[in-house]
Structure 1
Amino acid sequence: MTNLHALPADLPAPVDDGACDHLPGQRVPALRLPGTDGQTYDLSALPGRTVLYLYPKTGRPDGAVPEGWDQIPGARGCTPQSCAFRDHHAELQAAGARVFGLSVQPTAYQQEAAERLHLPFALLSDADRHWSRALKLPTFEAGGETLLRRTTLILRGGVVEHVFFPVFPPDRNAADVLAWLAAHS
């Protein structure tokens, strides 16, 4: 059994290969994404700031992670990242930002994580990958799946204002976002 809440000390760090250099200033696609809260969201139509953390895949306590998962730079850490955004949620709201997580996993799969981790925000599903393909988001292959590389976007009025890429370590991402928001209020 893998402890989904702990990050291994020898986790390989991802490198910035420029895969997100095209994103600042991009308008996000006007597509509705289903959320674990039962609502659908068009991120292009939301006013103000939105923090959108993109993650590869949440594991389940009763399941195995794909073979070699811990050796893929940036793959491991979805649970610690989600928990950090949960723990900093009130501060992020106070800084004027709403929060969503997004993966290519179906909503039914994401629902288990949202409930188990007591997330106060919705996880969004891009299972058909239309949204992520429109933005040309970076991906990787693992366990026979095409997954999103860990990236966090700050959206303002439907436009990408800032990009955190690569995100490492994932459990510090929410604090890094808070620091950025404080410096750019």
Structure 2
Amino acid sequence: MPNASLWSTDDQEINLSCLFGWNVIFCYPMTGSPGFSIPEGWVQIPGAAGCTPQACSYRDNYTELKRNGVGVYGISTQTSEAQKEASNRLRLPYPLLSDTDNSFSSALKLPLLEAGGLKLIKRLTLILKDDVIKKCFYPVFPPDKNVVEVIAWLSENQA
């Protein structure tokens, strides 16, 4: 993992190269927010829609992941304020990390999409053991079933 520190929804700076044990990082373009219009043509962009269902599926399976010693993080290029709103509204038990300057996505050369003048991370999921990427799911479809794939992979590969 690159030496990239990102602000979290619980007001901590998380250095992703310092994560230990098993961790899941799901990257997503953006969650919608009340009063904020999604970019024009959003639903026509392959892989753009579905961020909220994906985040909620990780929320709904968080207890199982934690029971198996797996940390969960969501990353987007949205501001910490937008992520805090989504985290509170959706009652997410795990932190969302803000990559507004694209330091994380640039360091890993992650695929991006542009919509409404915004540079957004395409949906993908990384499974880490300590600071090493062990598995990358890309593309991720359907978004709300990604957590099922992750749990299945972990059950076969987590030792």
TM-score of the superposed pair, with normalisation by structure 2: 0.96
Q: Which amino acid aligns with 1:145?
A: L
Counterpart for residue 24 of structure 2: 51
Which runs of structure 2 are paired with 1:158-173 in the superposition (5 Å)?
Answer: 158-173=131-146
Q: Which has the higher helix share?
A: 2
Structure 1 CA distance for aligned equivalents of residues 117 and 19 of structure 2: 34
Q: Which amino acid aligns with 2:48?
A: A
Counterpart for residue 25 of structure 1: none
**Matching residue within 45, 53, 71 for 1:98:** 71
1:109 matched to 2:82? yes
Q: Which has the higher strand share?
A: 2
The unaligned stretches of length 5 or more in structure 2 are: none
Counterpart for residue 110 of structure 2: 137
1:179 matched to 2:152? yes
1:71 matched to 2:71? no
3-state secondary structure, aligned to 2:127: strand
3-state secondary structure, aligned to 1:160: strand
- 1:169, distance to aligned residue in structure 2 (A): 0.3
- 1:95, distance to aligned residue in structure 2 (A): 2.2
> Which is greater in Rg?
1
1:32 matched to 2:9? no
Q: Is the 8 A contact 2:48 2:122 kept in 1?
A: yes
**Matching residue within 59, 65, 79 for 1:86:** 59
- 1:176, distance to aligned residue in structure 2 (A): 1.1
Structure 2 CA distance for aligned equivalents of residues 39 and 89 of structure 1: 20
Spell out, residue by residue over 1:18-66, the C-alpha distance to the aligned partner (whole angstroms, 9 max, x if none). Answer: xxxxxxxxxx111211000111111111111110000001101333211
Spell out, residue by residue over 1:128-150, the C-alpha distance to the aligned partner (whole angstroms, 9 max, x if none). Answer: 11111010000011011111000
The unaligned stretches of length 5 or more in structure 1 are: 1-27
TM-score of the superposed pair, with normalisation by structure 1: 0.83
